Amino acid sequence: QLVESGGGLVPPGGSLRLTCAASGIMFSIYAMAWYRQAPGKQRELVAAITSGGSIDYVDSVKGRFTISRDNAKHTVYLQMNSLKPEDTAVYYCNSPQYPLNWGQGTQVTVSS
């Protein structure tokens, strides 16, 4: 099970920290990722972190977003800084390696 939280309404330039709590899996061996889906658009992978800690980002968020994980807490985080209106979307976490059932996501709205 995946449960995302931490979304909200922030002005452009603001920050948010998203949290994804995973249960029922051997979390430490899973690569994990954050995805987002904006209205009328396909879901896209935003950031990923392997079990070994290797990280990758989509170009549009490089330098602004940071993904991290805490294996002891079965949790993956997404620190989002310098938010832009185009970051507005529902954000989800999942494993790109062994996909799980999608959670409900958390809404991020960037607007003045």
CA distance 41 to 31: 24
pLDDT tens-place string over residues 2-41 = 999 999 999 999 999 999 999 888 888 899 999 999 999 9
Range 48-68 average pLDDT: 96
Higher pLDDT, 17 or 99: 17
pLDDT at 42: 96
Range 48-55 average pLDDT: 94
pLDDT at 24: 84
CB 14 within 8 Å of CB 110: yes
What are the φ and ψ backbone dihedral angles of 24, each rounded to 5 degrees?
A: 80, 10
Strand, helix or coil at 39? coil
